[in-house]
């Protein structure tokens, strides 16, 4: 059997060992590039899960001027909050059920009650019911029946210095003796 001679001027054919080395080298380069691409892609995917900006709701919220609140109860769905007014005195009770966080609804009592709560008088006009698992709360937020493990939270109210609006601090729970009484 005869082999064709290399054309005149062509580089000599590589030796078999040299060809294997080159193939190994190219394979390693290919694998390395693939790994780098995968790591980069995974990093980008993980990075995309972390927002650049915090979209958490602010904890201190202006609610409106005191005159915007009727005597009795006003529900604020954005804050999931009940604001109660009795003349010049205000307090705020969370509408977030202490069982699993559903929004409780207020049910007007057939007869208003005057009670002492945490050593201070409180006019009770409503009680609260959770539609999810049936927890019931008294008008001061105390858990009465159902799976709710503790009372509804009360939050601090204050007046904004700049424009006189009512302000709630949803990061600051207060005791049931809290009242904001305007001068």
Kindly state whether residue 102 participates in binding ligand FES, applying the rule CB under 6 A. Answer: yes
Query: Binder to ligand FES among 75, 76, 125, 147 (CB under 6 A)?
Result: 147
Residues in 148-177 at the binding interface with ligand FES, rule: CB under 6 A: 148
CB nearer ligand FES, residue 90 or residue 128: 128
Q: What is the residue-wise DSSP string for the chain?
A: ---PPPPTTPPPPPPHHHHHHHHHHHHHHHHHHHHHHHHHHHHHHHHHTS-SS--PPPSEEEEE-GGGSPSEEEEETTTTEEEEEETTEEEEEE-B-TTT-PBPEEEEEEEEEEEEETTEEEEEEEEEE-TTT--EE-TTS-EEESS--SPPPEEEEEE-TTT--EEEEEEEEE-TT--EE--
Residue 132 as a binder of ligand FES (CB under 6 A): the answer is yes
Between 97 and 122, CB nearer to ligand FES: 97
Q: With binding defined as CB under 6 A, does residue 107 bind ligand FES?
A: no
Asked if 97 is part of the footprint of ligand FES (rule: CB under 6 A), the reply reads: yes
List residues near ligand FES by CB under 6 A. Answer: 97, 99-100, 102, 130, 132-135, 146-148
């Amino acid at each position: 059997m005869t082999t064709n001679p290399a054309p005149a001027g062509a580089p000599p054919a590589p030796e078999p060992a040299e060809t294997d080395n080159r193939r190994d080298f190219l394979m390693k380069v290919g694998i390395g590039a693939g790994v780098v691409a995968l790591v980069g892609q995974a990093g980008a995917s993980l990075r995309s899960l972390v927002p650049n900006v915090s979209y958490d709701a602010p904890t201190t919220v202006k609610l409106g001027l005191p005159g915007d609140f009727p005597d009795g109860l006003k529900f604020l769905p954005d804050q999931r909050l009940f604001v109660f007014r009795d003349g010049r005195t205000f307090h705020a009770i969370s509408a977030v059920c202490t069982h699993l966080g559903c929004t409780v609804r207020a049910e007007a009592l057939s007869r208003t009650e005057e009670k002492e709560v945490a050593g201070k008088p409180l006019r009770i006009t409503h009680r609260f019911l959770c539609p999810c698992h049936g927890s019931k709360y008294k008008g001061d937020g105390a858990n009465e029946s159902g799976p709710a493990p503790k009372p509804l939270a009360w939050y601090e109210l204050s007046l904004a210095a700049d424009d006189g609006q009512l302000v709630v601090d949803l990061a600051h729970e207060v005791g049931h003796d809290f009242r904001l009484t305007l001068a």
